[in-house]
Amino acid sequence: MRHMFSDRHARHTPPTRPMDPVIIIGAGWAGLSAALHLRQAGVPVRVLEAAPQAGGRARRQVLPWPDTDGIALDNGQHLLLGAYRDTLDLVAWLDGQGMDRLPLRLENAAGLQLRRRRHVLAAGTPDSLSRQLAESLSLLAAVLTSRGLSRGDRLQLVWTLFRARAAGWRPPVGVRTVAEWYQYTRQPARLVQQLWDPLVISAMNTPPALASATVFLRVLRDSLGQAPTASDFVLAGQDLAALFVDPAVDWLERHGCPVRLRTPVREIRVDLQARPHHGYLLRAFDPSAGEQQLRARHLVLATPPWTAARLLADLAPPASLAPLEGFGWRPITTAYVGWRAGNHALPTRLPPVFSLVDAQGKAQPAHWYFDRGRRAGWHLGALVISDSGEAMAQGEDALRAGLQKQLATVMGLPPAEHIVLIHEKRATFSCTDDRPLVTPGSLLPQLPGVALAGDYSYGGYPATLEGAVRSGRMAAEIILSGV
């Protein structure tokens, strides 16, 4: 099977002379993506990670669970979409395990059901016009056959999507926030409550009154505005580490590129002895060897932006680093819930993905339920609270009680027999129009050979795993252009 990942580097000529490894700081999804792209192109890399495991914000965590030795789940529930081409291509190339891919099906307790069926283009119609027509008809059929929306709501939704496509998926002039877009396009209250608000808060983790309309329409373009498979829900059957992180680390180590865990980089300086070009000295702590000094001509900083700013403080002027510290941050809380497999009050089937909007158009405290199937004698699920600052302020006991009530009243489920809360206080950047604009090559004028990677540096997209993976690819391309 051919993959875009391998094809992308097929024409790249590997270095003809020995070179120092490119040092990648951070083994999250952005750092691993950069490492894979560079190594596939024949460039040696060395990955340094301060944490005890790779994966960054989407890492594996073994959670305490009754009557078990612990259950391995993600450090917070994540959802991939079929539109995440770079991520899914890497997963396929690495033969990652445990991916469940489901056609789009949005449903909630208020009766909304929106299903998008896949289609196969007829032979002999490969041209772009035919594809656009097929994509539009697929989306039209999904909307017109949806349930839980009035005829007027369905027609308004069709008209909204048609106008958005005709406008190139760009907001009208002067419209900056999603809330302003609602008003400008005259979205009915029910459509906002049942569809748009849940999509905005889950995709952008930012309230519609602040969320960027430009970014939201770009997300719609890449999912609903493409072939039906682009809007697929992609879930990790076990955890995301098995899907991507573990295979990536294994591949790198098999190809001579170790991933060093528990190895924080404490300082970066200019290497004054580097000739004839630029170079950098890194002071890192290795748990087996102690303090080390490493030399590199090329660096990829795949860290949170505030960490990158701290490490580069002595190398670049403050004005160049200010955007790295200018992001606002928003929390996400995941509540993993479980029922013993013998609980006869539990339905035999639970929806894979369920919007927790109730008949009054509210979703409190959680916004989405994800079914995690059976594991170790338990049936598991994940409740996701986006932008969870207010929920966290309630306190653990009040939050657990609210979640139990929501499971009972919205989903009709028995009380969860075990709940584990995971709070990620700086889970995503605030996806607003005035957020800093940072790219992987932002610091090249001041720091030759230094690239940034992380979802924050993939402009024009919310904080997603796909943004992280794409930023890693872009950072690798910057390094390759200078090798």
Tens of pLDDT, residues 82-131 = 999 999 999 999 998 888 899 999 999 889 999 988 655 454 555 555 55
On whether both 269 and 180 belong to a single domain, the answer is no
CA distance 262 to 288: 10
Residue 4 has pLDDT above 60, yes or no: no
Parent domain of 187: 105-231
- Per-residue pLDDT tens over the stretch 218-249: 999 999 988 889 999 998 888 999 999 999 99
Residue range 280-305: mean pLDDT, rounded: 94
CA distance readout (Å), 398 to 77, 351, 402, 403, 405: 21, 26, 6, 9, 11
Q: What is the mean pLDDT of residues 241-268?
A: 96
pLDDT per residue as tens digits for the range 327-354 = 999 999 999 999 999 999 999 889 999 9
Give the CA radius of gyration of the chain: 23
The sign one gets for the Cα dihedral 236, 242, 245, 247 is negative
- The confidence score (pLDDT) of residue 169 equals 96
Give the lowest-confidence range in 326-335, 349-358, 374-383.
349-358
Interval 368-390 mean pLDDT: 95
Of the chain, the percentage scoring pLDDT greater than 90 comes to: 79
Bond preceding residue 276 cis, omega within 30 of 0 = yes
Q: What sections of 41-120 are H helices per DSSP? A: 85-94
Residues 323 and 452 in one domain: yes
pLDDT at res. 10: 45
pLDDT band at 309 (very low <50, low <70, confident <90, very high): very high
β-strands 45-48, 22-25: how paired?
Answer: parallel
pLDDT class of 8 with cuts at 50, 70, 90: low
Residue 92 inside a domain? The answer is no
Asked which of 184, 207, 231 is the last residue of a domain, the reply is 231
- pLDDT over threshold 90, residue 138: no
Evaluate whether residue 67 is within a structural domain.
no
Domain count, the chain: 3
pLDDT tens for each residue of 22-50 = 999 999 999 999 999 999 999 999 999 99
Scan for tokens 């808060």, then name that residue: 201
Q: Are residues 342 and 305 in the same domain?
A: no
DSSP designation for 108: B
Question: What per-residue confidence (pLDDT) applies to 1?
Answer: 36
Nearby residues of 98 by Cβ (< 8 Å), 6 or more positions away: 236, 237, 238, 239, 242, 243
SS3 letters for 276-334? Answer: CCCCEEEEEEECCCEEEEEEECCEEECCCHHHHHHHCCCCCCHHHHHHHHCCCEEEEEE
- 448 and 316 housed in the same domain: yes
Contacts of 394 (CB under 8 A, 6+ apart): 365, 402
Is this prediction's pTM over 0.85?
Answer: yes
pLDDT digits (tens, 9 = 90+) for 170-185: 999 999 999 999 999 9
Do 74 and 59 form a contact (C-beta atoms < 8 A)? yes
Confidence of residue 13 (pLDDT cuts 50, 70, 90): low
Last-in-domain residue among 179, 206, 231 = 231
46 and 129 in a single domain? The answer is: no
Could you tell me how far CA 246 lies from the centroid of its own chain?
17
Name the CA dihedral angle for 396, 397, 398, 399, rounded to a multiple of 10 degrees.
Answer: 50
Q: Are residues 409 and 446 in the same domain?
A: no
Domain membership of residue 371 (yes or no) is: yes
The answer as to whether 226 is a domain residue is yes
Q: What is the mean pLDDT of residues 142-159?
A: 92
Are 210 and 312 in a shared domain?
no
37 and 183 both lie in a single domain: no
Considering the domain boundaries, does residue 68 fall inside one? no
pLDDT of residue 84: 94
Q: Is the dihedral of CA 364, 370, 373, 374 positive or negative?
A: negative
Burial class (CB in 10 A: 0-12, 13-18, 19+), 272: exposed
Q: For residue 359, report the phi and psi dihedrals to the nearest 5 degrees.
A: -65, -20
Q: Do 244 and 311 lie in a common domain? A: yes
Mean pLDDT of the 308-333 span: 96
- What pLDDT, on a 0 to 100 scale, did the predictor assign at position 328? 96
Q: Residue 71 is inside which H or E element, if any?
A: strand 71-74
The answer as to whether 246 is a domain residue is yes
pLDDT tens digits along 429-457:
999 999 999 999 999 989 999 999 999 99
Please state, in angstroms and rounded to a whole number, the distance separating the CA atoms of residues 298 and 280.
Answer: 8
Beta partners for residue 260, in sequence order: 48
Whether 390 has a pLDDT exceeding 80, the answer reads yes
Residue 342: give its domain's CATH number: 3.90.660.20
164 and 47 within one domain: no
Angle between helices 197-204 and 213-222 (to 10 degrees): 90
Give me the CATH number covering residue 28: 3.50.50.60
In which element (H, E) is residue 52 found? Answer: none
| pLDDT band with cut points at 50, 70 and 90 for residue 137 | confident
Cα–Cα dist 25/264, whole Å: 8
Residue 209 resides in a domain: yes
Say how far apart CA 300 and CA 476 lie, in whole Å.
8
- Say whether both 218 and 249 belong to one domain: no
Domain end among 196, 231, 266: 231
What Cα–Cα distance (Å) separates residue 113 from each residue in 104, 143, 222, 346, 349? 10, 9, 21, 22, 17
- Answer yes or no: do 255 and 308 share one domain: yes
| pLDDT, mean over the chain | 91
CA distance 175 to 181: 6
pLDDT level of residue 2 (50, 70, 90 thresholds): very low
